[in-house]
Amino acid sequence: MLAVIGGTGLYDPGFLAGAKEQVIETPYGEASVIIGEGPQGSVAFMARHGRGHSLPPHRINYRANIWALGSLGVAGILATAAVGSLRRELPPGSFLLLDQFIDFTKTRISTFAEEGVVHLDFTRPYCPRLGGYLLEAARRLGMDLQDRGCYVCTEGPRYETPAEVKMFAQLGGDVVGMTNVPEVVLARELGICYATVAVVTNYGAGIAPVPLSHDEVGSVMGRNAQGLRRLLQMTMEIVPPGEGACCGKGDG
Ligand code: HPA
């Protein structure tokens, strides 16, 4: 089964028929999942920030969310993320398929493996196979989806200083957000394939002369949500039904 994790601006699974909420108990607490029918079978949907965007990035129960999806037998996650751009050539409204991340989080538990020694390979942090389906979906829709992007994950919830934005760009980052780590890491630990479409909602602090606001991020996302839904829906039509995960421990 496929799952969609909707970030800022994508709170409802409008693209799933007969959607019903299920609360799942996990060793890390409860997680709320909506399950409905996609074009090729059941699809799980999760609003990362909760309904009505009640959870800030550092308070999201990432372990409960990913554990819950794993317990449902999810083999692939299509995630969305609103991001700030670290580069002038990536203006608001750009769509990117992430292929790398740099982790600047500080307080999050980024593993299920609190005992024992687990060192997973992260040469390819995002699933290239799921990414390929997203690129094919974008091609069929005539949408512009950049085929790579390095995501810098900050702790938040504050936005960055202009000095941080400059540093992140110098380090090789393309966009900045607050949620992909540990989500992508936890998915890999459970052997779930994971791909993210990042939508640029603003230039990083100091690149444009205007201060950042969550309302602005939300409204740019709102303007792009329809395109994002179409992309996800087309991708769900393309992924062969019943296809299992390829990002097991140590590979992917
Ligand atoms: N910084 C961090 N997270 C974000 C941004 C940003 O500029 N825009 C959307 N999410």
| pLDDT score of 68 | 98
| pLDDT score of 50 | 86
Which residues are near ligand 1 (CB < 6 Å)?
82-84, 154, 159-160, 176-178, 201-202, 204, 212, 217
Mean pLDDT within 238-248: 89
Q: How far is the CA of 217 from the centre of ligand 1 (A)?
A: 8
Mean pLDDT within 40-54: 90
> Is a pLDDT exceeding 50 seen at residue 167?
yes
Mean pLDDT within 27-50: 95
Give the range among 55-59, 70-74, 76-80 with minimum mean pLDDT. Answer: 55-59
Smallest CA separation from ligand 1 atom 7, residue: 84
The residues with which 77 forms a beta bridge, in sequence order, are 3, 194
Residue pair 70/46 in contact by the 8 Å Cβ criterion: no
> Is a pLDDT exceeding 80 seen at residue 25?
yes
The domains found in the chain, sorted by start residue, are 2-238 (3.40.50.1580)
Token duo for residue 25: 């108990």
Distance (Å, whole) CA 29 – CA 25: 6
Query: pLDDT, tens digit, for every residue of 1-11?
Result: 999 999 998 88
| pLDDT score of 251 | 45
Query: pLDDT, tens digit, for every residue of 126-135?
Result: 999 999 999 9
Q: How far is the CA of 18 from the centre of ligand 1 (A)?
A: 33
Residues 6+ apart with CB under 8 A from 55: 48, 49
